[in-house]
Amino acid sequence: MRPFWLQQALDQDNDAVCLPLAGDERCDVCIVGGGYTGLWTALMLKEQAPQLDVLLIEADICGAGASGRNGGCALSWSAKYFTLERLFGAVEAVRLVQESERSIAAIGEYCAANGIDCDYRMDGTLYTASNPAQLGATDAVIGALANKGINSFERLPLEQVQRLAGSARHLEGWFSPAAATVQPGRLVRGLRRLALQRGVRIHEGTAMTGLEHGAPVQVRTRNGTVRADRVVLGMNAWMARAFPQFERSVAIVSSDMVITEPCPELLGEIGLDSGISVLDSRIFVHYYHNTSDGRLMLGKGGNTFAYGGRMLPVFDQPSPYQPLLRDTLSEFFPALAQVPVAASWNGPSDRSVTGLPFFGRLDGQGNVFYGFGYSGSGVGPCHMGGQILASLALGLDNAWTRSGLVKGPLGQFPPEPIRYLGSLLVRNAIRRKERAEDRGVRPRQLDVRLARFAAAAGKADKG
């Protein structure tokens, strides 16, 4: 059984199967990876250069990775403004915040224009405090956005916050209309369907087993070779295993989710009747939204860490944290305490040091490009990633190819076992700190200090 979103999409998907590669193929551009990054890149290449022969290979089926199992929250980079400014300067930080908001709207417009039914609802997002220690956590970045003239957030009265969020657990809230929610499995399968219609050749069940630089580049698979003038690698969490030079560029960490059986009447009674996404101000945030068929999805990041970037079997199983998520759901929504959980799942996200994705030219080559490190927030930014990678593959000189995002990874994690042990140490400190804050108790100073290592990169794992 696939994760809930993807299985729901597949149950309604009558499109043709894309057979594995058998034999050798030649193309202009070969894309490795059939998630949001690879499919947006393919579609943008065909839009700008319809004559290009684009071939995409995917190890499993399109959407089997993070694109078919994320939380479905399409969020901007507004909350990451300080990180953007520190890394790229104020001018580029402002541009990237604005582009991230434009991408969210553009995804909805694209889906509407091309018949992709993915439950896209641009009903905004609400950043909240769910315990007293979180009060004011968002004020500084909101002030910075306002100073730059790019603030889309409005502080709401507490009564309105609790009504919109459907829970009295929230103690303050900032609302922005520049956010959306989607059914992620339907989005990725819809992009696949459109790519096929536009002439992109797709081979599923076709893992890359090797890559040889040259002109053309040779992408090896088990049953054939693709020779391509240019290659785009959109493998996300799997990049670190395929290319050892990236092993310390990302940490592989799970985001875990549960979704209820339909309960539209109860959701209506508590006021959670729009597509708004709600996120609190924890380091590993709680995030949730409803669905158009009356379910509630709730998730939390930062649970399972993988040693050495390995793809653990647990990533393809029901979440081991389902009891914790069930308890959290009942705490936020006492009225839903008896509503059955329909499914739980988790999956690997590629957490970068900065909390931002990065792009570049593999090994300095001018015809092999990559992008990953979305850090659990890729639904909206993958649209920007497609623009970046399409621009690189087309050899364009534009704001995307000149961006600091295209300088490759901007930091490394420590080597193993320090990274793994340090991740567990920090994760457990965060858990103790936030449990204490939930009880109104002052956390230990050591836990506060350790938590700052994760807080420096911003909120994690929410879309």
Instruction: For residue range 392-446, list pLDDT tens digits in order.
Output: 999 999 999 999 999 999 999 999 999 999 999 999 999 999 999 999 999 999 9
Q: Which residues neighbour 365 within 8 Å (Cβ) at sequence distance 6 or greater?
A: 213, 217
Q: Quick one: tokens of 69?
A: 């199992």
- Domain membership flag for residue 180: yes
Angle of helix 184-197 relative to helix 36-48, nearest 10 degrees, comes to 30
Main-chain phi, psi angles of 44, to 5 degrees:
-70, -35
Instruction: Kindly state whether residue 146 falls inside one of the protein's structural domains.
Output: yes
User: Would 431 be classed as within a structural domain?
Assistant: no
Tell me, what's the pLDDT at 455?
65
Strands 296-305 and 286-290, sheet pairing:
antiparallel
Instruction: Point out which residues pair with 31 in neighbouring strands.
Output: 56, 232
pLDDT at 460: 43
Mean predicted confidence (pLDDT) in 176-197: 98
Spatial contact of 189 and 202, defined as CB atoms under 8 Å apart: no
**The pLDDT value given to residue 17:** 86
Residues 150, 291: Cα–Cα separation, whole Å: 29
**Section 371-386 average pLDDT:** 97
Q: Is 295 in contact with 304 (CB distance < 8 Å)?
A: no
| Mean pLDDT, residues 306-326 | 94
Q: 458 pLDDT exceeds 90? A: no
Q: What is the pLDDT of residue 462?
A: 54
Kindly state whether residue 340 falls inside one of the protein's structural domains: yes
AA identity, residue 232: V
411 in a structural domain: no
Mean pLDDT (the chain) is 96
The pLDDT of 158-181, averaged and rounded, is 98
Given a cut of 60, whether residue 333 has pLDDT beyond it is yes
Burial of 68 (0-12, 13-18, 19+ CB in 10 A): buried
317 occurs within a structural domain: yes
**Confidence class of residue 461 from pLDDT cuts 50, 70 and 90?**
very low
- Give me the residue label for tokens 């590669």: 21
Beta carbons within 8 Å of 395's beta carbon, 6+ residues apart: none
Cα–Cα distance measured from residue 428 to residue 33, given in angstroms and rounded to the nearest whole number: 33
Average pLDDT over residues 292-320: 94
Gap between the Cα atoms of 355 and 375, Å rounded: 5
Higher pLDDT among residues 458 and 9, named by residue: 9
Percent of the chain with pLDDT over 70: 98
Q: Is residue 297 part of a domain?
A: yes
Report helix angle 381-393 to 36-48, nearest 10.
50
pLDDT digits (tens, 9 = 90+) for 63-88: 999 999 999 999 999 999 999 999 99
Specify if 182 maps to a domain. Answer: yes
The CATH number of the domain holding residue 364 is 3.50.50.60
Distance from the Cα of residue 74 to its chain's centroid: 8
97 pLDDT more than 70 = yes
Residue 290 phi/psi, 5-degree rounding, is: -90, 180
Are the C-beta atoms of residues 213 and 228 closer than 8 Å to each other? no
The pLDDT value recorded for residue 4 is 97
* pLDDT in the model for residue 13: 86
Cα–Cα distance between 145 and 1 in angstroms, integer? 43
Residue-number span of the structural domain to which 232 is assigned: 4-406
Q: Which two tokens stand for residue 227?
A: 């020779």
How many domains does the chain fold into? 1
pLDDT at residue 189 above 80? yes
Average pLDDT of the residues in 163-167: 97
pLDDT in tens, 107-137: 999 999 999 999 999 999 999 999 999 999 9
- For residues 74 and 102, the answer to whether their CB atoms sit within 8 Å is no
Judge whether residue 463 has pLDDT over 70: no
**pLDDT value of residue 15:** 82
Which tokens go with 463? Answer: 């879309």
| Mean pLDDT within 236-261 | 95
Tens-place pLDDT, residues 24-63: 999 999 999 999 999 999 999 999 999 999 999 999 999 9
* pLDDT reported for residue 196: 97
